[in-house]
Amino acid sequence: MRLLALDRFTWRRIYWILLVFLVILITVWWQPNRTFPTGGSLARDSANPQQVKGAIQPIPLSVDLDVEKVALGEELFRDKRLSADNQVSCLSCHHFKRGGADRQTYSVGSGGVPGDINALTVFNAGFNFRFNWNGAYETLEDQIQATLQNPKAMGSQWNEVVEELQATPEYPKLFARAYADGLTAENIKDAIATYIKSLYTPNSRFDQYLKGDEQALTPDEKAGYQLFQDYGCISCHQGMNIGGNMFQRFGVIGDYFDPKDGITQADLGYYNVTKDEADRYVFRVPSLRNVALTAPYMHNGSVETLEEMVKIVAKAQLGRTLSEGDTDLIVQFLKTLTGEYLGGSLEKLALDSDDDITS
């Protein structure tokens, strides 16, 4: 009778723990030659699907998007006039030389106001199933809508933005070419979303390995990938984005958040969206694509290194304490997930001087 009296939150937690262990078990016994489609409504991949192994699929080599909308979206993405004080743009928090993020604990928005959550990378965002750390937005357009109005981000109002862009010599013409109804708030969101979908980073060394190039990874990197599977990391980090396609509670095996340390609003995760106790500390699983370039980590930017992040996640999500050796091998594997942007090395772009960064 006491078992039946467990509340909904406890049942939900038991469910997640059992689910994680089940997926780990399946992963350990995963058939290495099982194939998956390269998938994704955006994909036009030249890879042979029979060469794609396991639960992770490579980023497509090309994406079919409207060229005029992409070009217009790029102009808007870089335009500071979208912010209330004309001082920040989308590029300010999502710069390509910084892995599509900004290397800050919290981004600084309009008026110099810091946000309350760490900026996620914009690269490959078009392949995620929901957006924001807490998964509040179902579409990129929804997130753009909220970001522009957020006082800790752009701090603008749509009618004012439309009016300001309408008064420029260039935007009315650009919108007229791309959209039958011209310059509207909906078309601004659509253009930016289309551009973001063009920010994909294919051809990482790991993608090359998935497509059949056994020499693309070193023996240590392959060993790290094997550990990534054996420990069960792949149960949450899979699919084309190696994450970004499911929700998960942070602290599956034991509580990660301690009220004695102070719980912030951002720590509550998906609970902020649903107000359901079962969703407390639940987050959208982040993508691991280009993860070596996007420190600091966690929704609060509290983790500085990839090594530390791997250990924390292994303990909180899998109940495992990793050795230094295993941690190093997994990190070596994660570094193979850095792809290319516009045919060039994203790693090299990130290593170049930031002197020419304008935001």
The arithmetic mean of pLDDT across residues 39-54, rounded, is 36
208 conformational bin, left if phi > 0, alpha if psi -120 to 50, beta if neither: alpha
pLDDT reported for residue 351: 76
* Domains observed in the chain: 8-61+204-338 (1.10.760.10), 67-197 (1.10.760.10)
Nearest to 102, CA basis, from 301, 243, 355, 348: 301
- Per-residue confidence at 258, pLDDT binned at 50, 70, 90? confident
- Per-residue confidence at 314, pLDDT binned at 50, 70, 90? very high
Helices (H), the chain: 8-28, 67-78, 90-93, 140-149, 158-166, 171-178, 185-197, 205-210, 219-230, 271-274, 306-318, 324-334, 346-351
pLDDT for residue 68 is more than 70: yes
pLDDT for residue 4 is more than 50: no
Nearest to 134, CA basis, from 330, 272, 308, 325: 272
pLDDT for residue 31 is more than 70: no
- Per-residue confidence at 33, pLDDT binned at 50, 70, 90? very low
Contacts of 247 (CB under 8 A, 6+ apart): 135, 270, 282, 283, 284, 285
Q: Give Cα separations from 216 to 204, 211, 221, 266, 355 (angstroms).
A: 9, 10, 10, 39, 32
Which residue did the predictor score with more confidence, 32 or 246?
Answer: 246
- CA–CA separation, 353 and 116 (whole Å): 28
- For the chain, the average pLDDT equals 87
- Per-residue confidence at 27, pLDDT binned at 50, 70, 90? very low
